[in-house]
Amino acid sequence: MVLKKFTWPAELTLNLIGGKWKGLILNHLLTGESKRFGELKRLSQGISAKILAKHLKELEFDGLITRIVVGTNKPRIVYAPTLRSRSLEPILSAIRQWGSEHLGAYGPDSQALSDSQIRLNEATLGTVPAAETPNLDPVPDDSAPARNASRSIPTPSGWDFREKESPIKHSSHTAAS
């Protein structure tokens, strides 16, 4: 396996705990005792056994969890966090806290805020200096084309997505006489 060389420290962290499931798996292991495969699958609603097994192997390879075989006659396998993954606990705790505070804005019963709504909220709360706050009032400009007027995505003038004939001619091969 070829190890990637990281140039940005946060890139390493996001690579190790990023994605839909790794952070959740680590969170379950860090907030309790060591857990068996079935327990982790039950706690991580929606994950398939194949994906869980893949992520557990990756986390073990990265040194964030350890796989422990318990017993000899009928061995049981449990997964536990390592000291290295315990150092991620403040990060995962901050992610949990942020999610708790913003769940209402992004939950299934709400619509996510647009960028302009977020900037307006930040300006209202005073987290962005007033001088940096853009004017969010829509001002019609007769010289500019209407936004989304034709509901098509503008493309640079050099791009042409129409079907063209292939430069390779497909012809039947006949034997030369």
Domains plus CATH for the chain? Answer: 9-86 (1.10.10.10), 90-132 (no CATH)
| Helix ranges, 62-164 (H) | 83-86, 89-106, 115-125
Say if CB 92 and CB 28 are below 8 A apart: no
In order along its 177 residues, the chain shows pLDDT tens digits of: 446 788 888 888 888 888 889 999 999 999 888 999 999 999 999 999 999 999 999 999 999 999 999 988 888 999 999 999 999 999 999 998 998 888 888 876 665 555 555 566 565 565 555 455 455 454 444 554 444 444 444 444 444 444 445 445 544 454 554
User: Which phi-psi region, left, alpha or beta, contains residue 155 (left: φ > 0; alpha: ψ -120 to 50)?
Assistant: beta
pTM (2 d.p.): 0.58
- Report which residue type is found at 62: D
CB 79 within 8 A of CB 65: yes
Tokens coding 115:
């960028």
Burial category of 154 from C-beta neighbours within 10 Å (exposed 0-12, middle 13-18, buried 19 and up): exposed
The CA dihedral of 22, 85, 9, 127, to the nearest 10 degrees, is 80
Residue positions counted in the chain: 177
pLDDT at 6: 83
Helices 89-106 and 22-30, packing angle to 10 deg: 120
**Which SS3 state, helix, strand or coil, does residue 80 take?**
strand
Residues 6+ apart with CB under 8 A from 62: 16
